[in-house]
Amino acid sequence: MKNTQINEPLFRSFGKSIGSHVILEKRELAPQIKQIKIHAPEIAVKAKAGQFIVLRTNSEGERIPLTLVSWDKTEGSITLIVQEAGVSTRKLGALQTGDQIPNLIGPLGNPSDIKFYGFVAVVCGGVGAAPALPIAKALKEAGNTVISVLGARNRGLLILEENLRNVSDELHISTDDGSKGQKGHVSDVLKSLIEKKYDFQVVYAVGPPIMMKTTAEVTRPYGIKTIVSLNPIMVDGVGMCGACRVTIGGQTKFACVDGPEFDAHQTDFDELIKRLNVYPSEEKQALDFHHHGGGSFACCNPK
Ligand code: NAD
Ligand code: FES
Q: What is the pLDDT of residues 59-102, one digit of tens each?
A: 778 899 999 999 999 999 999 999 998 888 999 999 999 999 99
Distance 20 CA to ligand 1 centre (A): 32
Q: What angle do CA 45, 50, 56 make, to 5 degrees?
A: 75
Distance 159 CA to ligand 1 centre (A): 12
- pLDDT at residue 5 in the model: 37
Mutate to test the pocket of ligand 2, among 105, 110, 233, 240 (most ligand atoms within 8 A of CB): 240
Closest-lying ligand to the alpha carbon of 65?
Answer: 2
Q: Does domain 8-108 have CATH number 2.40.30.10?
A: yes
CATH number of this structure's domain 119-276: 3.40.50.80
Give the Cα separation of 140 and 134 in Å (integer). Answer: 10
Domain borders along the chain are: 8-108, 119-276
Ligand 1, CB within 6 Å, residue ranges: 67, 125-128, 130-131, 151-153, 174, 176, 185-187, 206-208, 210-211, 214, 229, 231
Give the Cα separation of 248 and 263 in Å (integer). Answer: 8
- pLDDT at residue 261 in the model: 97
- pLDDT at residue 295 in the model: 41
**121-159 pLDDT, tens digit each:** 999 999 999 999 999 999 999 999 999 999 999 999 999
- pLDDT at residue 58 in the model: 85
- pLDDT at residue 10 in the model: 36
Give the Cα separation of 100 and 88 in Å (integer). Answer: 15
Regions in the chain scoring below 70 on pLDDT? 1-19, 279-303
Q: How far is CA 186 from CA 63, 103, 128, 175, 213, in A?
A: 30, 35, 11, 8, 12
Give the Cα separation of 82 and 119 in Å (integer). Answer: 30
Distance 212 CA to ligand 1 centre (A): 8
pTM of the model: 0.88
- pLDDT at residue 286 in the model: 52
